[in-house]
Each structure stands twice: as C-alpha cells, then as structure tokens.
Structure 1
Amino acid sequence: MVQAIPPAHDAIGEYTAFLAAELGKSVHVRILTTRDRPLEPLGGVEIDACFSLHGKRRFDGLQRALATTQADAVVLQYNPFAWGRRGWAPDLGHTWLAARKANPSVCWSTMFHETYTLSPGLRAWAMRQYQKRQFRLLAEHSDVCFFSTGTWADEFARSDPSAKAIHLPVGANLREPAVSRQAMRSRWGISREDFVVGVFGGGHQSRMLNRIEHAVDAISNYVTPRRVVFLHVGGNAIAWSMKRCKVIATGRLPDVDAAGAISTMDLMINPFTDGVSTRRGSVIAALQNSVPVLTTFGAVSEPLWREVEDSFVFLAPPRDENLWSEATLRAVRAIELDAAEMRPAAREFYRHNFSWASVASSLLNHCSLLKSKC
C-alpha cells in the first residue's frame, strides 16, 4: 500500500517501485495505490489503483481490496503527511483495523518511513498530537513494524517489548549510471584535476546549508591551486553563496543521469540537524556511487556509521562548528591520499546494507518468519 508511485515524483513511491521490482524476482507483488494520478506499468508488478486520497469515502476501495486479498503479507508504506493534509488521516487507521479484522490470516505490517513530526513550533506541536495517535494505532495493530532508522525501532521496542520492531534501512532511489564517471565529468565540463564536492536533493529544513557552504570554502582553501567544483544534483534551486568555486546546479534529472552526476563527486556533503541515518536516501545514493560522505552524527544516527568513520564516512556533531571544520579537512586529506581504496569500500558498504536485494531479503525474512508462527 502506497499513496503514490512513479511517474509521480515522490520519494516513498519511488522506494516502493524499486522494492517491488526486487521482491517481484521471487514472489508475486501487487501494489495498491491511488487512482488520482496517471500511472505507468512496472515490469513484473501488478498495480491496483483502488482508492483516492480525496473525499469522505476515499478508502472504500482500499478496504475491499484488503479484506479480500489472498496475499500472505500486506505492507503499508507510511509517512503521516503522505496520507492526509498535515498528516491528518484517521480514516487510514479505521480502514486498517477493519481489513485486519476481516482477513486475520494475513501478516499485516507497516513500514514507518517517519512516525510523526518532530519539527519545532506550535503548529507542529498540534500536528504531533494526532499524528502520535495515528502512529500508535497502526503500530499496535501491525504484526511487524519496520522502521527506517534503528533509533526509532529501538525506541518503539522499549515502549512495547511485545511488539516486533524491525530496523529496515531504505535503499537508493536511483538506477545505476549508464556511462562512466569520467564521461559524466566531461558532460558537465569537469576535468580530471578538479576536486568535485556536491549535494543531492533539495533544501529541506533538516539540511544545514550554512555548514555545506562553510565546508566548501574550507576545501577551496585547502586544495589550491586545484579548482573546486560544487555540484548540486536535483532538488529545488538554492542561492549558494560560495565565491571560490565553480557552482553547477543540474536541476531535476532522470534517475540514471542523477546517479551519473553523483558519481563525478569526490565528496558528498550532507549534514543533518538530527544526524545521518539509514533513512537518508541522499547519503545512500552517494555510497551507491562509490562517493565518500561528510555528514553529522546526531540523535537518530545508528552505530553502523561510527563503525566506518574516517574510512569513507566523516562525522561531526551537528552543533559543533569546530569539529565540523576538522572533519572537513580529515575528509579531504583522506581522499587525496587513498581515494582508490576508499571508493570501492563505500560501494561495498552500500551493497551489504542498502542494496535493494538486501532490503527485500530482510523484509521477506521477517514477514515469512512471523507467518510461519501463526
């Protein structure tokens, strides 16, 4: 179950399409989604546009489909804002409960990409109250609760020791590049000698844009006389203020071209206010394309990032500018000394933890294990 799939530009919809394609190699997959938008075929995957996101009875078709499904498992892809304006979607919970009651033999599971808003401010506080209730209802009535970060999975497991809370990282919503790294550099006017730093995605409030600019300026000073190229791949336009580097903004690209553009980077810079985690698709896309990452380690960061610190992931606390500067220089020095070994190691870390084969295998194993015990 998902609220959108390609060609709609929606990160969770794209995630679902990639995951369904991988699952479809070993099991039959049927996606239940909205009929509100144009759809395109997904090879090997059945699509049932059985509900709307609008109207008082918007989920009637969804409830019928769930109540009569012959599936072994149903997975709800959940982010509160995906299912209702400002995350208000009590009818989703009612639909879930009714379908579960009508079809108790199914393994009912929810993938929590986000649980509820943690943004500051009075409006966010008000939204958080009802979003928390929706989260708890879905979680309490799911046989398996998957969480995109290990921190959220651990928190929920502590609050409900009887629940099956599973950490399931996201993958990269990009196919493999169609051309070589050097060919992509040539396409964007980047030479072999240029040091390329970049970002992937938009300027969400969780991104620390001033830290990115600070790091780029420091790198420009360090690698002189080499030219620094700052490459902004995808996302909305941002008025970057760096003066000592060439700035290239690609705008939105097809996923193959976006992957190719990312592969040209020597370093991706992606600091987050709450720290890097296994739900950060931009970081995972860098690792997929063998690119080292400079980021932050914060409240939601999992231990696996510490395990590879200073290998191809360089970390600093979100609020410490001095340590951020130190991490920036450590990253550049390490890349200049050892990029030939660093890049394959980043790719292998991606393959082991974030490839779609890894994600799909984990999901299937946990759903199948629970089903066998029923």
Structure 2
Amino acid sequence: PDDFLIAHFGFLKQGKGLETLLDGVASLHQAGVPVRLMMIGGRTSTNEPTDADYAAEVDQRIETLGISPLVHWTGYINDGAVGVFLAASDVVVLPFSDGASYRSGSLMAALLYGGAIVTTIPRTETPAFIDSENMLLFPPSDSAALTRSLQRLYDSPELRQRLRQGARQLARQFDWSQIAKDHVAFFQRIKATV
C-alpha cells in the first residue's frame, strides 16, 4: 500500500505537542501502518537556547522511538513549497499542548491549503472548529487519542476528503477580501437603519 503521509508545519518549540505526534507516529508504525512524517519548515525560529535544546529533545525522542527512517525534514522552504507539501499530505497534524486557536499561523496555513487537519481541542470556545467536519479534534497530550484519529483517517479516504473540503470552506472565512466584504455589508446595514 501507499505510504500514509503525515505533515507537521512549524518551528520546533515547547507547546507544539511534538512528543504527542512522535508517539502517535510510532504507534501507527508498530500497528503496521506504512506511515511517514514530513516535518515542514525550519527547525527553530531564533537563536534562543531553549528552542535549540527542545529541537535536540525532539531528535532524541525520534531516535529512542526508532522512527528516524520515517521522518523527513524539509528545512526552511518558501510559502509555495509549504503549500505543495501541505496539499500533498494525507493529513496535517498540529497537536498543540494548549489546544488549537485562531492565532496559529500553521493551522491557518493548513486550512488555506485544504489539509485534512488533526489538532487539539481548543481551550476556549471556538465555534468554527467543528470536529469531523473541518478537522478532527483530540485532547491535548493524548497520544492514544491522536493515534485513534490517525488510524481512522488512514482507514477512510472519504473522511480525509470531507475534512479537506471543510478546511477549504473554513479558510474562506479568514480571507481578507471576504472579511472586507463582510465589513462593508455590516456598515451598509447600519447605515440603512439610521
């Protein structure tokens, strides 16, 4: 069978939940899923020593789990290449330790490129994030729940397609031209009542 390509996009920083992702990839591999992990983007964003230390911890965990041959690092790439990798992946996993939010640039990119997204349940009410419609949601730091979500997506190309369509639809809400049109319509409604 074809490889099941999981993508992660973003710098290596505490709070991104990479331990959960790596444990999930290892579990899938042990279950016989032909999984590959594409780590998209640069490793660290700054010369911050804690980021470099965390990157070393991630490398060590990959080695300890025995999944080094399954992990590919793109290094820094331009926006167009990011889009190609996100669109080509079977799923995009963003396992934030603090839950998903509108503030995440990597989540917004995955939406824009129509990724089948698996991410963590938001800490605050986020009505636009609809489980099984535009993304799959799982509890932060729960690698078993992530593994179940990934297995579900591996088994169901139809669900992956539904999530991709839902992501593209949700991305339209964040398009600046749509936001501008919505504001114009709002002010026109106000003007009509005055």
Q: When the two structures are superposed, what TM-score results if normalisation uses the length of structure 2? A: 0.74
Where 2:28 maps in the other structure, the secondary structure is helix
Specify whether residues 274 and 194 from structure 1 end up closer, same or farther in structure 2 by C-alpha distance, changes over 3 A only: same
Query: What is the identity, as a one-letter code, of the residue corresponding to 2:15?
Result: S
What are structure 1's unaligned runs of at least 5 residues?
1-191
Q: Of the two structures, which has the highest relative contact order with CA contacts closer than 8 Å and spacing of 6 or more?
A: 2
Q: Residues 200-279 of structure 1: matches in 2 within 5 Å?
A: 200-222=9-31, 224=32, 226=34, 228-236=35-43, 238=55, 239-240=58-59, 241-242=61-62, 243-244=66-67, 245-279=69-103
Q: Output one character per residue of 1:107-144: Cα deviation in whole Å (capped at 9) or x when no partner.
A: xxxxxxxxxxxxxxxxxxxxxxxxxxxxxxxxxxxxxx
Q: Distance in 2 between matches of 1:203 and 1:371?
A: 48
Segments of 5+ residues of structure 2 without an aligned counterpart are 45-54
Corresponding letter in the other structure for 1:333: R
- Shift in CA distance, 301/196, structure 1 to aligned 2, threshold 3 Å: farther
SS in 1 for 2:133: coil
| CA deviation profile, 1:282-339 (whole Å, cap 9, x unmatched) | 112112222112211132351222xx212341212225x3xx4124313332343223
Measured at CA, do residues 371 and 212 of structure 1 come closer, stay the same or move farther in structure 2, by a change above 3 Å? farther
Kindly indicate whether the alpha-carbon contact (under 8 Å) linking 1:275 and 1:301 is maintained by their aligned counterparts in 2. Answer: no
Contact 1:335/1:342 (8 A) holds in 2: no
Q: Alpha-carbon deviation of 1:363?
A: 4.8
Out of 173, 178, 182, the position equivalent to 1:358 is 178
- Residue equivalent to 2:135: 313
Amino acid at match of 1:343: R
Q: What is the letter of the counterpart of residue 334 of structure 1?
A: L
Q: Please identify the structure whose Cα radius of gyration is greater.
A: 1
CA distance in 2, matches of 1:266, 1:336: 11
Counterpart Cα distance in 1 of 2:149 and 2:19 = 19
Q: SS in structure 2 opposite 1:357?
A: helix
In 2: Cα distance, 1:276 partner to 1:200 partner: 14
Distance 1:367 1:254, change over 3 A: farther
> Residue type matched to 2:166 in 1?
A
The one-letter code of the counterpart of 1:284 is: M
**In 2, Cα distance between the equivalents of 1:346 and 1:251?**
25
- Aligned partners of 1:266 and 1:329: how far apart in 2? 15
After superposing on structure 2, the runs of 4+ consecutive aligned residues of structure 1 that deviate more than 4 Å are: 363-374
Q: RMSD between aligned alpha carbons?
A: 2.9
Equivalence map 1:1-374=2 (5 Å): 193-222=2-31, 224=32, 226=34, 228-236=35-43, 238=55, 239-240=58-59, 241-242=61-62, 243-244=66-67, 245-305=69-129, 308-319=130-141, 321=142, 324-337=143-156, 338=158, 339-351=160-172, 353-365=173-185
Instruction: Name the SS for the 2:128 alignment partner.
Output: helix
Residue 356 of structure 1 deviates from its aligned partner by: 3.2
